[in-house]
Amino acid sequence: MIIKNVGVIGCGLMGSGIVQVAAQAGFSVLFVEANDELVRRGLGRLRETLEGLVAKGKLDATAKDAALARIAGTPRLEDLKACDLVVEAMTENQPLKNETFAKLDRIAPPHAILATNTSSCNVTAMAAATRRPGQVLGLHFFNPVPLMKLVEVARTILTDEGVVTTATEWVRALGKTPIQTKDSTAFVVNRLLVPYLLDAVRLYESGLASLEDIDTAMKLGCGYPMGPFTLLDLVGLDTTTYVAEVMFEEFREPRYAPPPLLKRMVMAGHLGRKAGRGFYTYTK
Ligand code: CAA
């Protein structure tokens, strides 16, 4: 099967990154946002990002124009009727995702592959909400999408082998490196990363060291590109808490339980970089 037209549902942090890399790799991309205003903002952000790359000399103006010409946005899910592949990248909400997959199944052409960028929701439940469970799988990108090379290809017990192959080839066509995993809460990366981030919060809560020193310790002591608190702020404290809660619910292991400080920071609206404040404060 040849993928030409790609749909992306959601043009937030992850969705816009997926739109960008797909358009730069030569695919026609149509993204869906909740309303006209969010479509306008999504298009504006993509233009700004690509223009920024041209200004830095990382992309030539012709390639930028060609990528932008391949991107369109719509507030209507029904407009995804000509897509060969749709990647859902909405917020982490299982009932909403199941409902969206059921709708999408009635809209997308019969051959289309339906993928989810979820990091913690149940892919099998989304597949079961459609009449094409063999064509549903997880394609989990990492934040920031244009820079992170990995995509986890997550198959359910219902996914057809040919669909896994096509989706894996598409990931390679984006210039990313795929790894294969099963549909199990949090897949590979978050299974290891989330307990580490939660432990960092517990360490800080215990008063062992300052935020800055814990970050410096992991950067310089382990060669990690970012310390855990800088990374928590990048991923979003709300997203991390949600993923941790789903993992705790699934595995019932204390190491996945979000620590009290993390929950309270989310309640306080200190969600990380996107909110201007998380463990650190950000000015534009
Ligand atoms: N498209 C293409 N290039 C872009 C870009 C974009 N949208 N945005 C920035 N760039 C370019 C910049 O122009 C910059 O280039 P120059 O250095 O030539 O100017 C380059 O990318 C790197 O930018 P930074 O200076 O910001 O880069 P850095 O060296 O500080 O690295 C980082 C940034 C890649 C994010 C690195 O710090 C890192 O790898 N951090 C860890 C991130 C991580 O772990 N992510 C996974 C999170 S977990 C997750 O996502 C899963 C989940 O489900 C929750």
Is residue 143 included in any domain, yes or no? yes
Ligand 1, atom 1: closest residue by C-alpha: 146
Contact 119, 92 (CB under 8 A): yes
Give per-residue pLDDT as tens, 27-60.
999 999 999 999 999 999 999 999 999 999 999 9
154: CATH: 3.40.50.720
Contact 161, 137 (CB under 8 A): no
Which positions of the chain have pLDDT values less than 70?
A: none
d(CA 199, CA 193): 10
Query: Is residue 57 located within the same domain as residue 149?
Result: yes
Query: Is residue 108 located within the same domain as residue 164?
Result: yes
**What is the pLDDT, as a whole number, of residue 284?**
72
Is the N-terminal amide bond of 228 cis, ω within 30° of 0? no
Give 148 Cα–ligand 1 centroid separation in angstroms: 7
Give per-residue pLDDT as tens, 178-218.
999 999 999 999 999 999 999 999 999 999 999 999 999 99
Ligand 1 pocket: which of 68, 147, 192, 256 to mutate (most atoms within 8 A of CB): 147
**What is the pLDDT, as a whole number, of residue 1?**
76
Q: Which residues are catalytic?
A: 119, 140, 152, 190
d(CA 258, CA 240): 8
Query: Is residue 132 located within the same domain as residue 261?
Result: no
**What is the pLDDT, as a whole number, of residue 68?**
98
**Structural domain boundaries enclosing 264:** 191-275
**What is the pLDDT, as a whole number, of residue 41?**
97
d(CA 94, CA 116): 11
Query: Is residue 47 located within the same domain as residue 151?
Result: yes
Query: Is residue 212 located within the same domain as residue 232?
Result: yes
Query: Is residue 35 located within the same domain as residue 152?
Result: yes
Number of structural domains (the chain) is 2
Ligand 1 lined by 151 (C-beta under 6 Å): no
Query: Is residue 105 located within the same domain as residue 201?
Result: no
Q: Which atom of ligand 1 is nearest to the CA of 240?
A: 54
Is residue 282 included in any domain, yes or no? no
Query: Is residue 157 located within the same domain as residue 268?
Result: no
**What is the pLDDT, as a whole number, of residue 76?**
98
- Single pTM value for the model: 0.95
d(CA 29, CA 82): 11
* Alpha-carbon torsion (163, 166, 172, 176), positive or negative: negative
Q: What is the DSSP letter of 81?
A: G
Is residue 281 included in any domain, yes or no? no
Ligand 1 lined by 118 (C-beta under 6 Å): no
In three-state secondary structure terms, 32 is strand
217: CATH: 1.10.1040.10
**What is the pLDDT, as a whole number, of residue 276?**
98
**What is the pLDDT, as a whole number, of residue 95?**
97
Is residue 216 included in any domain, yes or no? yes
End residue of a domain, out of 139, 162, 182: 182
Query: Is residue 39 located within the same domain as residue 168?
Result: yes
Structure tokens at 158: 């219902």
Give 176 Cα–ligand 1 centroid separation in angstroms: 14
**What is the pLDDT, as a whole number, of residue 225?**
97
Ligand 1, atom 34: closest residue by C-alpha: 147
Ligand 1 lined by 75 (C-beta under 6 Å): no
Contact 20, 146 (CB under 8 A): yes
